[in-house]
Amino acid sequence: MASITSSYNPREIDNTEDMPGRRAPLITGNQTYTSVTEMVCRVAEDPQPRLWWILFGMASLTASMFLMLIGFLIYKGVGIWGNSSPVFWAWPIVNFVFWVGIGHAGTLISAILFLFRQNWRTSINRAAEAMTIFAVICAGIYPGIHVGRAWLAFWLLPYPSLNLWMWPQFRSPLLWDVFAVGTYASTSLVFWYMGMIPDLATYRDRSKSPLRRFIYGLLCLGWTGSSRHWLVYEKAYTLLAALAAPLVLSVHTVVSFDFAVSQLPGWHTTIFPPYFVAGAIFSGFAMVVTLLVPMRAIYKLENLITLRHLDNMNKIILATGSLVGLAYGTEFFMAWYSQNQYESFTFINRAFGPYWWAYWIMVTCNVISPQLFWFKWMRTNVVAMWVVSIFVNIGMWFERFVITVTSLSRDFLPSSWGYYRPTLFDGLMFFGSFGVFMTLFLLFCRYLPTIAISEVKGVMSASDHSSHLEAEVLAELQGKDPKHAGHAH
């Protein structure tokens, strides 16, 4: 079965087949160790394509706007936002949860798929981890500036204060959040960095200019590829993966506690931790697809990030999207089954109250749109999957909006009910965070190894002597494309 896209892109080989008894290769194009190194290093060594400069210009302008808006916010106060009684947790918290959720896919792909020996993770884990770091940076900005007096945000930390003579309150979920997100950000950072050390050494050893060699030499800490080092390194990597996997689950659990530990109907439910974690993985994978589809096209990485990788990710999006849909349904069921009138009101109000539009955008984007991935055609068509991933991103933002705003705007006291309206600053500051995210991601593509070179080679090596069938399957798949038949070497 030739894929739709292979007809116009000779690098696009459909290696997604699932035939019993034979295994399609993970990476295509008869790659050798040399060619894999070449293909990844080229991204940072060649002059960047014009599109990179255009995107970088736009992203860095947007990021600068964001930083200026933060400055204005600190100068003027949080009154420039639409947050007002009774909705004091509005867009800043929605954006925080949105970005933290996105930041879950990277470590999940790295850690959980590593522990489950899912070899297809190797082509996508680096970019996903980078995405995690940048998303968590964006997430961390919002609570920091939402506290009002941002210059006192360090009061969240347990430090021996000479002015306050007191300690943080360790029974508050908001404090747990500080610890969870802080641990997650720093652990993800070292996980990402440690994974990059061997690839940075590759960059160093390929460097032509002394300055480049010096900088990459510093960054890779003098890595030589010694087998004695590799042994400790692999053990450390396995340990980190085993530590990071429960960490991923705990972080969004704690984020959900911010809501679930309160008494507000619509928040006070035990379903929140698994529901939030499923949503986070869902949105994170969607963001990975959103980023990797253009990235592999711009940098011609289709042979490393193949349709099979994308197909697998789309399957996870389908699974987690259905989980999220199940959670929405369960919430309604529990509202009815508990016979709690406040709970019932909250959920009827969510779907049919003043924010009905947000609720149905959420359901359409999160529950209905990923169902298209039941069709293999959708899972292997890059344009179609990119569109669906954008829908999922939109839907997951609206999920956080629905949870936060509909519950707050209709609390126990009808006299204080209100309708939340964002201001221009809310919109610009959410848009601005995408500028920060994209700027960092583009710089990452420009300067750091976008694909875990050593891990891809490790998987190539394993498949090399475990199954010679793969090469045959690959040759057969490549031979199917008449335009490409002569090109296969």
Partner 1 sequence: MNNNEHNVKSNKEPRPPKACGWMAEFENEHDLLHAAEKVRDAGYTKTDAFTPFPVHGIDHALGIKPTILPFIVLCAGLTGLCTALLMQWWMNGVDYKYIISGKPFGITPASIPVSFELTILFSAFTSVLGMLALNGLPKFSNPVFTNAKFDRATNDRFFLYVDATDKYYNRESVKELLSSVHANSLDEVMEDSTPSELPRSILLGALLIVLAGLIPAAIVLNMRASFSDLPRWHVFFDMDFQPKKKPQQTTTIFKDGRTMRPQVPGTISRGQLDQQDPFYLGYDPMKVTSIDSEKPIYVSTGDSLANVSAVSGAVQPPAGGTPTTGAAPVLPFLEKLPIEANEENIKLGKAKYEIYCSACHGYSGYGDGLVSKRAASLAQDTWTPPSSLHLDRIQKQPVGQIFHTISKGQGKMASYASSITPQERWSIVLYVRALQRSRNANIEDVPVDQRGSLTAPAPSQTK
CA 135/CA 438 separation, integer angstroms: 10
**Which span (127-135, 281-289, 454-462, 467-475) binds partner 1, by CB under 8 A?**
454-462
70-129: contacts with partner 1 (CB under 8 A): none
Place of tokens 């404090």: 175
CA 207/CA 156 separation, integer angstroms: 44
CA 457 to chain centre: 24
Site size toward partner 1 (CB under 8 A) is: 71
Which residue lies nearer to partner 1 by CB, 199 or 426? 199
Which residue lies nearer to partner 1 by CB, 16 or 107? 107
233-262: contacts with partner 1 (CB under 8 A): 233-236, 239-240, 243-244, 246-247, 250, 254, 257
Which residue lies nearer to partner 1 by CB, 146 or 457? 457
Residues 337, 253, 168: CA angle, nearest 5 degrees: 115
Decide if residue 457 touches partner 1 (CB under 8 A): yes
Which residue lies nearer to partner 1 by CB, 227 or 339? 227
Which residue lies nearer to partner 1 by CB, 219 or 319? 219
CA 227/CA 235 separation, integer angstroms: 12
Spatial CB neighbours of 395, under 8 Å, sequence gap ≥ 6: 361, 362, 363, 364, 365, 366, 369
Decide if residue 159 touches partner 1 (CB under 8 A): no
> In this chain, which of 39, 63, 124, 180 binds partner 1, going by CB under 8 A?
180
Decide if residue 461 touches partner 1 (CB under 8 A): yes
CA 130/CA 58 separation, integer angstroms: 20
CA 241/CA 129 separation, integer angstroms: 12
**Which span (184-192, 285-293, 357-365, 422-430) binds partner 1, by CB under 8 A?**
184-192
394-453: contacts with partner 1 (CB under 8 A): 453
CA 294/CA 299 separation, integer angstroms: 9
In whole angstroms, how close is the CB of 411 to partner 1 at the nearest point? 20
CA 73/CA 151 separation, integer angstroms: 12
In whole angstroms, how close is the CB of 341 to partner 1 at the nearest point? 25
> In this chain, which of 25, 29, 101, 217 binds partner 1, going by CB under 8 A?
217
Neighbours of 262 (CB within 10 A): 13
In angstroms, the Cα distances linking 488 to 31, 32, 61, 123, 475 are: 10, 13, 43, 21, 8
In whole angstroms, how close is the CB of 168 to partner 1 at the nearest point? 7
* DSSP one-letter code for 9: -
> In this chain, which of 48, 64, 183, 344 binds partner 1, going by CB under 8 A?
183
3-62: contacts with partner 1 (CB under 8 A): 32-34, 37
**Which span (15-23, 223-231, 356-364, 365-373) binds partner 1, by CB under 8 A?**
223-231
**Which span (5-13, 83-91, 224-232, 356-364) binds partner 1, by CB under 8 A?**
224-232
> In this chain, which of 49, 71, 79, 158 binds partner 1, going by CB under 8 A?
158
> In this chain, which of 54, 68, 221, 471 binds partner 1, going by CB under 8 A?
221
> Could you give the 3-state DSSP secondary structure of residue 84?
strand
Which residue lies nearer to partner 1 by CB, 188 or 409? 188
> In the chain, what is the straight-line distance between the N-terminal and C-terminal CA atoms, in Å?
21
**Which span (213-221, 307-315, 395-403, 404-412) binds partner 1, by CB under 8 A?**
213-221
Which residue lies nearer to partner 1 by CB, 39 or 316? 39
Spatial CB neighbours of 277, under 8 Å, sequence gap ≥ 6: 104, 248, 249, 252, 253, 256
Decide if residue 213 touches partner 1 (CB under 8 A): yes
408: enclosing H helix or E strand: helix 407-409
> In this chain, which of 9, 70, 229, 342 binds partner 1, going by CB under 8 A?
229
Which residue lies nearer to partner 1 by CB, 50 or 468? 468
> In this chain, which of 223, 285, 373, 386 binds partner 1, going by CB under 8 A?
223
CA 144/CA 149 separation, integer angstroms: 9
Decide if residue 465 touches partner 1 (CB under 8 A): yes
What sign for the dihedral angle of Cα 177, 180, 184, 186?
positive
Encoding tokens for residue 305?
């990030």
